[in-house]
């Protein structure tokens, strides 16, 4: 069976690939943990400067897997229990958001297609965001549609990266923000529309080449110090958002709303705005 999340060290770069294209790279709880561990390993990898997160197929990631056995196979008494969701939700989300935010190396998202939910939050925590074709790209934070609240510090990162008005649209009304607008707002560093890549693999290869060329002759220690400095301003906002989001989210799980909305979504009884 193919690896769901692939970790490779290529010279001075770590490349992490989401590899579940038939499920649009949606991730269950274990896979989010595996991704977080991979990013943590990349942080501790000796001699690398950059960590690239790339994907496969037509979506970067459709967010949390709505068939996650953490929901579908949970015991009834667990489904509404604080202890259960503290472990399955609060601890996990706190950890993964911290891992992405704390990353010491340059964190790059090579975005081949739309990105949703917690995965959108993780992309928003990357330093540089490159998109294959912004006309085929959107971010969607459907928390209000799923009976959830902002995750992965999106209440801070979207506010910072898109501005108050756009963040309100995206987060209050669960509206997708389309790629061309994301490029215009500066969320996207570069959209590669003109390249007309035949596949996601071609796009990924180009990003690797371009990223490596960007740091080739620079002084590595300065890159890391500058990353540390850039984090100083956003750090308090991200930590405050993350800790408040997970506790508000906990109460929604204990109430039982997201569980039933996830089932409705899987059965196509509810849909997201497009
Ligand atoms: N989970 C599982 N499978 C998915 C998901 C998903 N999130 N998204 C798509 N798939 C699967 C589909 O079931 C389908 O599989 P199959 O071919 O076997 O039927 C395949 O991927 C292709 O999907 P579609 O046919 O639906 O493709 P479309 O292009 O028609 O639609 C959409 C694409 C719009 C992305 C649609 O699939 C969709 O709305 N997906 C759901 C997205 C979503 O709501 N994600 C969750 C976001 S919230 C979040 O990430 C934080 C929650 C934290 C949870 C913590 C848990 C403990």
- Do 258 and 251 form a contact (C-beta atoms < 8 A)? no
pLDDT in tens, 233-264: 999 999 999 999 999 999 999 999 999 999 89
Rounded mean pLDDT, 31-58: 98
CB of 63 closer than 6 A to ligand 1? yes
* Residue 151 annotated as catalytic: yes
Q: How confident is the model at residue 73 (pLDDT cuts 50, 70, 90)?
A: confident
Domains and CATH numbers, the chain: 5-194+219-267 (3.90.226.10)
CB of 64 closer than 6 A to ligand 1? yes
Distance of CA 17 to the CA centre of its chain: 13
pLDDT over 90 at 227, yes or no = yes
Sign of CA dihedral 143, 40, 243, 170: negative
Rounded mean pLDDT, 34-49: 98
CB of 141 closer than 6 A to ligand 1? no
Instruction: Detail the DSSP E strand segments found in the chain.
Output: 5-10, 13-18, 50-54, 106-111, 115-116, 128-131, 138-140, 177-178, 190-191
Torsion angle of C-alpha atoms 143, 145, 148, 149, degrees rounded to 10: 40
pTM of the model: 0.97
CB of 120 closer than 6 A to ligand 1? no
CB of 62 closer than 6 A to ligand 1? yes
Maximum CA extent, the chain: 58
Give the distance (Å) from ligand 1 centre to CA of residue 62: 5
CB of 234 closer than 6 A to ligand 1? no
pLDDT in tens, 190-216: 999 999 999 999 999 999 999 999 999
Please list, in sequence order, all residues whose beta carbon lies within 8 angstroms of the beta carbon of residue 205, skipping any fewer than 6 positions away: none
CB of 70 closer than 6 A to ligand 1? yes
Q: Given this model, what pLDDT does residue 191 score?
A: 98
Of 151, 202, 228, 245, catalytic: 151
According to DSSP, the β-strands at 128-131 and 190-191 are: parallel
Give the distance (Å) from ligand 1 centre to CA of residue 157: 23
Give the distance (Å) from ligand 1 centre to CA of residue 67: 9
CB of 146 closer than 6 A to ligand 1? yes
pLDDT over 90 at 76, yes or no = no
Give the distance (Å) from ligand 1 centre to CA of residue 18: 15
Give the distance (Å) from ligand 1 centre to CA of residue 262: 10
Q: Given this model, what pLDDT does residue 70 score?
A: 82
Range from 19-23, 80-84, 95-99, 126-130 carrying the lowest mean pLDDT: 80-84
Give the distance (Å) from ligand 1 centre to CA of residue 242: 24
| Test site for ligand 1: of 4, 23, 24, 155, most ligand atoms within 8 A of the Cβ | 24
| Test site for ligand 1: of 4, 32, 62, 146, most ligand atoms within 8 A of the Cβ | 62
């Amino acid at each position: 069976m193919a690896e769901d999340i692939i970790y490779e060290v290529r010279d001075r770069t770590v490349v992490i690939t989401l590899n579940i294209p038939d499920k649009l790279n949606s991730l269950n709880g274990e896979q989010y943990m595996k991704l977080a561990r991979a990013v943590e390993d990349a942080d501790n990898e000796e001699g690398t400067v950059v960590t690239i997160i790339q994907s496969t197929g037509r979506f970067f990631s459709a967010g949390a897997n709505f068939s996650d056995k953490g929901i579908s196979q949970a015991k009834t008494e667990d489904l509404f229990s604080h202890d259960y969701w503290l472990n399955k939700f609060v601890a996990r989300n706190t950890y993964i958001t911290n891992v992405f935010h704390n990353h010491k190396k340059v964190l790059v998202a090579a975005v081949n297609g739309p990105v949703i939910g917690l995965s959108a939050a993780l992309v928003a925590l990357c330093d540089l965001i490159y998109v294959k074709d912004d006309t085929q790209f959107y971010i969607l934070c459907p928390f209000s549609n799923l009976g959830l609240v902002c995750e992965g510090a999106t209440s801070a990162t979207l506010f910072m990266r898109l501005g108050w008005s756009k963040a309100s649209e995206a987060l209050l009304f669960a509206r997708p923000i389309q790629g061309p607008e994301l490029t215009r707002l500066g969320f996207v560093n570069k959209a590669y529309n003109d390249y007309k890549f035949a596949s996601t693999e071609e796009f990924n290869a180009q990003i690797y080449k371009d990223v490596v060329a960007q740091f080739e002759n620079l002084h590595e220690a300065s890159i890391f110090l500058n990353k540390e400095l850039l984090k100083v301003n956003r750090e308090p906002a991200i930590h405050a958002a993350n800790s408040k989001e997970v506790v508000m989210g906990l109460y929604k799980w204990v109430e039982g709303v997201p569980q039933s909305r996830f089932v409705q979504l899987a059965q196509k009884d509810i849909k997201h705005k497009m």
